[in-house]
Amino acid sequence: MLTLIGVVAAWMKGGHPERLGALVTLVVFAVSFYTHEVRIGTFYAGDAVIDLLMTGFFVWLALTSDRWWALFLSAIMGLTLLVYLAALIVPGVGQYAVISARVGLGILTSLTLLAGAGERWLSGERAISDQRSWRPRRAAS
Q: pLDDT value at position 10?
A: 85
| 70 alpha carbon, distance to own chain's centre | 9
Q: Does the pLDDT value for residue 82 go beyond 60?
A: yes
Q: What is the pLDDT of residues 38-72, one digit of tens each?
A: 877 778 888 999 999 999 999 999 999 988 999 99
Average pLDDT, the chain: 85
| Mean pLDDT value across residues 102-122 | 89
Among residues 58, 53, 50, 15, the alpha carbon closest in space to that of 33 is found at: 50
pTM above 0.85, yes or no: no
Q: Please state whether 14 falls in left (phi above 0), alpha (psi between -120 and 50) or beta.
A: beta
Q: Which residues have a Cβ under 8 Å from the Cβ of 111 and sit 6 or more positions away? A: 2, 6
Write the CA distances from 22 to 73, 94, 100, integer angstroms: 12, 31, 23
Lowest mean pLDDT of 26-30, 91-95, 135-139, name the range. 135-139
Model confidence at 2, pLDDT cuts 50, 70, 90, reads confident
Domain boundaries, the chain: 2-123
Mean pLDDT of 73-83: 94
